[in-house]
Amino acid sequence: MLCPFDLTPSQIVTELDRYIVGQHEAKKAVAIALRNRWRRMQIQASLREEVLPKNILMVGTTGVGKTEIARRLARLVKAPFIKVEATKFTEIGYVGRDVEQIIRDLVEIAIKMMTQQAKESVMNMAQEQTDARLLDALTGVGASLETRMRFKLKLQNGELDNSIIDIKVNDTPVQTMDVPGMPQMGMINLGDMFSQAFGKEKQVLKKMPISEARRIILQEESEKLIDLGKIIADAIDAVEQNGIVFIDEIDKICAARENSRSSSVSQEGVQRDLLPLIEGTSVSTKYGQVLTDHILFIASGAFQIVSPSDLLPELQGRLPVRVDLKSLTRDDFVKILTEPESNLIRQSTALLETEGVTLTFQTDAIELLADIAVEMNGKVENIGARRLYTVMENLLEDINFEADAKRGETIDITAEFVESKLANLAKSHDLHRFIL
């Protein structure tokens, strides 16, 4: 059984530390939950069935890193992962929307993932067979070894790319599916995959440049080498055993107990719909039944108006690991501006570098930016680290606008500079510039 996720909890935390400042408790909880998936797969089958995932409820005000943790986790785990907004199911026109669709979407994600892996693993062989087919078409099957070698060389160094060739290719209606991050494989031709799975393909002779023929044949050959039935079975298995569903903004489908009005009916309805998925049910998909018993659910919400205890008790019970994310301090803001690999200062600097403008940031300037962010969060609305975006935007607005005229210059961002651009703004009543 496939269980690719073998990072230890401390390795997972270290990995998350590269992008997220603080929130150790939350990182630790997701790291343990993930490792438990791996541990579960190591134990005997009869016991394995009994071990249920420890689903997580992350609670924390806006902009403290809840969604960011989920986003980074998704890239880290080699498991089927889907993130949904709970509010999607209460929007006008969507009431009664089928929450089981989450699981169907997760299966599609897993199939794409498995197809990509499978194609990568047969790539070399597919390339060889592609070369052989092109060579047959070029020289005819009866050609001498010497002729074949000569043409093989020409083929390989691209000399013949623009030559027109008559070649047999599958006669399939174009019905394609994008595979992100896989430009070398182009598209997966679903028509092809299914005809391969369910019957023999008809071939037709077509005229086309060799470069085009190579692309089509590479696709045909790699699809011949992968087993669609196995991919689907593996994908369903991966979803059932290792799948992760992240439900963001779960507090938005929750109404305070005392003032439950009619509007809350649909919210509570969504909670009721979600319950069986989290408790474990069988969802029918076009690839077969999928059991949700062992899917890991991570829910997250700000819970500023309602409290987690306003969720349906059964739902609370199914989210047993509760982690509170801390409010971020001024020192956290300084770290967020400077430490993560793609921090805001690095982003802004890189963008201006493209115009030949060099930005340098003094330490006391960065500290002042953090102070101003804290101040604005207090005065206007606490939006956590998101505030840093508005502060940086206001700080660099003029430079961003005039960058083309400043080519070759180095601009030193000092505390005085920050003061001149922002401090007065922050003190004045002109606060609307900081409202998102």
Q: Binds 266, which of ligand ADP, Mg ion, none (CB < 5 to 8 A, cut-off by type)?
A: none
Would you say 79 or 344 has its CB closer to ligand ADP?
A: 344
Q: Does 169 bind ligand ADP (CB under 6 A)?
A: no
Q: Binds 65, which of ligand ADP, Mg ion, none (CB < 5 to 8 A, cut-off by type)?
A: ligand ADP
E strands, 347-431, are 358-361, 410-413
Q: Does 243 bind ligand ADP (CB under 6 A)?
A: no
Task: Give the whole-angstrom CA distance, residue 89 versus residue 75.
Answer: 25
Q: Does 22 bind ligand ADP (CB under 6 A)?
A: yes
Q: Given 3-state DSSP classes, what are the helix, strand and coil percentages for the chain, each rounded to the nearest 5?
A: 55, 15, 30
- Taking CB atoms, the residue at the shortest distance from ligand ADP is 65
Would you say 246 or 333 has its CB closer to Mg ion?
A: 246
Q: Does 87 bind Mg ion (CB under 5 A)?
A: no
Q: What is the smallest separation between the CB atom of 231 and ligand ADP, expressed in angstroms?
A: 33
Q: What is the smallest separation between the CB atom of 340 and ligand ADP, expressed in angstroms?
A: 5
Measured CA distances, 27 to 72, 249, 395 (Å) = 11, 18, 32
Q: Does 67 bind ligand ADP (CB under 6 A)?
A: yes
Q: Are 148 and 135 in contact (CB under 8 A)?
A: yes
Q: Does 61 bind Mg ion (CB under 5 A)?
A: no
Would you say 357 or 396 has its CB closer to ligand ADP?
A: 396
Distance of CA 73 to the CA centre of its chain: 8
Which member of 32, 38, 48, 68 binds ligand ADP (CB under 6 A)? 68
- Taking CB atoms, the residue at the shortest distance from Mg ion is 67
Buried b (16+ CB within 10 A) or exposed e, 50-75: eeebebbbbbbbbbbbbbbbbbbbee
Q: Does 400 bind Mg ion (CB under 5 A)?
A: no
Q: What is the CA radius of gyration of the chain?
A: 28
Q: Are 270 and 100 in contact (CB under 8 A)?
A: no
Burial-class residue 340 by CB neighbours within 10 Å (0-12, 13-18, 19+).
Answer: middle
Buried b (16+ CB within 10 A) or exposed e, 5-38: bebebeebbebbbebbbbbeebbbbbbbbbbbbe
DSSP state of 226: S
Task: Give the whole-angstrom CA distance, residue 307 versus residue 225.
Answer: 53
Would you say 69 or 238 has its CB closer to ligand ADP?
A: 69
Segment near Mg ion (CB under 5 A); pick from 60-68, 133-141, 321-329, 394-402: 60-68
Q: Does 301 bind ligand ADP (CB under 6 A)?
A: no
Which member of 62, 266, 394, 400 binds ligand ADP (CB under 6 A)? 62
Beta bridge partners, 164, equal 209
Q: Does 20 bind ligand ADP (CB under 6 A)?
A: yes
Distance of CA 386 to the CA centre of its chain: 20
Size of the site for ligand ADP (CB under 6 A): 17
Q: Amino acid identity, residue 394?
A: N
Q: Does 382 bind ligand ADP (CB under 6 A)?
A: no
Q: Are 312 and 257 in contact (CB under 8 A)?
A: no
Which member of 63, 243, 301, 308 binds ligand ADP (CB under 6 A)? 63
Q: Does 64 bind ligand ADP (CB under 6 A)?
A: yes
Would you say 66 or 88 has its CB closer to Mg ion?
A: 66
Q: Binds 135, which of Mg ion, ligand ADP, none (CB < 5 to 8 A, cut-off by type)?
A: none
Q: What is the smallest separation between the CB atom of 103 and ligand ADP, expressed in angstroms?
A: 23
Q: Could you give the string, one character per residue 326-345, with x where binding to ligand ADP holds by CB under 6 A and - elsewhere?
A: ----------x---x-----
Would you say 22 or 80 has its CB closer to ligand ADP?
A: 22
Q: Return all residues near 49 (Cβ < 8 A) that are at least 6 apart.
A: none
Task: Give the whole-angstrom CA distance, residue 156 versus residue 158.
Answer: 5
Q: Does 87 bind ligand ADP (CB under 6 A)?
A: no
Give counts: helices (H), strands (E), the chain. 17, 13
Which member of 9, 17, 36, 67 binds Mg ion (CB under 5 A)? 67
Would you say 22 or 243 has its CB closer to ligand ADP?
A: 22
Interface residue list for ligand ADP (CB under 6 A)? 20-23, 60, 62-68, 336, 340, 384-386
